[in-house]
Amino acid sequence: MISSLRTRILLISSATVVGALALSGAATYSIVRSNTMESIDQNLAAIASGNTLAIDKWVAAKAQAVKATAGVIEHGDPQGFGKHMGDANGFPIITIGWTDKSFISTSATTPKDYDPTARPWYKQALAAGQLLVTKPYGDVSTGVPYVSFAAPLVKNGETTGALSGAVPLDGV
């Protein structure tokens, strides 16, 4: 046993100091961790919000280009309008398909027997009757995943085909 009063006081004092330091350290760790996690959450939310806004604006610009081009394509030079839409708005592949399965495409790798009416973007645009953004799909010639901004072509109130501006997902 501890017989000396001095030793007892020293042990009690030491235990009190060590206990206080341990509690202080644990409290400090908890507060710093909580504040750090909150700061990380706020930063991630701000980054996600900024990226969402940028993607929304990007999608709106692409959609507007396709919608505007689809509105005038049946009244003029389809190939010229399609090429201009691709050049001005960053669509690497523009495809215009008509109900008779004829098509115009800016892709050099599109096969001669290509049937635009069988493609998801064509079917979805005609079914929706308005501009839409497709789910990702594989390019018919390369297999690269693309997403298309597609709109039906309407002339005199009748749907005559569809226009697609395709963007590879590796560029988004």
- Could you list the mean pLDDT of each consecutive 10-residue stretch along the chain, which spans 172 residues? 83 94 96 96 94 88 82 69 73 88 85 88 92 86 86 88 89 63
Cβ–Cβ < 8 Å for 65, 85: yes
Distance CA 65, CA 103 (A): 19
**What pLDDT does residue 14 have?**
95
Q: Can you list the domains of the chain with their CATH numbers?
A: 1-172 (3.30.450.20)
**What pLDDT does residue 172 have?**
63
**What pLDDT does residue 9 have?**
92
Q: What is the DSSP string of 146-160?
A: EEEEEEEEEETTEEE
Cβ–Cβ < 8 Å for 142, 97: no
Residue with tokens 């990380």: 40
Give the ranges where the chain is alpha helix by DSSP (H): 5-72, 78-89, 120-128
